[in-house]
Amino acid sequence: MLIIAFAGQACSRKSGPYVKLDGKYYSEKDLEKENPERYRQIRSNYESRIKSALESFVAGKIFELGAKEKGLKNRQEYFRSIEKEVIPPTEEEIKTYYDGLDATHNWKQKPFDTVRGQLVSYLRGQKVSALVQQDRSRLEKKYGYKVGPPPKREKIDIQGEPLIVDSGKSKPEVTVVEFSGFECPFCKRVQATTEKIREKYKGKIHWVLKDHPLRINRIDAHLTSNCIHQQSSEKFLAFFGKVFSPTVGREVFEKDKLRELATSFSLDMERYDACLKDPAVAQEIRKDHAEGKAAGVKGVPHFFINGKPISGAQPFHVFDKSIQEEL
Neighbours of 228 (CB within 10 A): 25
pLDDT at 289: 95
Question: Are the CB atoms for 317 and 133 separated by under 8 Å?
Answer: yes
Per-residue pLDDT of the chain (327 residues; tens, 9 = 90+): 444 444 444 444 457 899 999 999 999 999 999 988 788 878 877 887 898 899 999 999 999 999 999 999 999 999 999 999 999 999 999 999 998 887 778 898 899 999 999 999 999 998 998 899 899 999 999 999 988 887 788 999 999 999 999 888 888 899 999 999 999 999 999 999 999 999 999 999 999 999 999 999 899 999 999 999 999 999 999 999 999 998 888 899 999 999 999 999 999 999 999 999 999 999 999 999 999 988 889 889 999 999 999 989 999 988 998 999 898
Q: What is the SS3 assignment for 211?
A: strand
Burial class of residue 154, CB neighbours in 10 A (0-12, 13-18, 19+): middle
Residues of the chain with CATH 3.40.30.10: 163-326
CB 281 within 8 A of CB 227: yes
Say yes or no: domain 163-326 is CATH 3.40.30.10: yes
Q: How many residues does the chain have?
A: 327
Q: How far apart are CA 125 and CA 88, in angstroms?
A: 10
Q: What is the pLDDT of residue 144?
A: 95
Q: Burial of 78 by CB count in 10 Å (0-12 exposed, 13-18 middle, 19+ buried)? A: buried
Q: Report whether 67 contacts 79 (CB < 8 A).
A: no
Q: What distances in angstroms separate CA 38 from CA 212, 290, 295, 302, 325, one per listed residue?
A: 22, 16, 14, 21, 32
Q: What's the CA gap between 254 and 258, in Å, rounded?
A: 6
pLDDT score of 36: 86
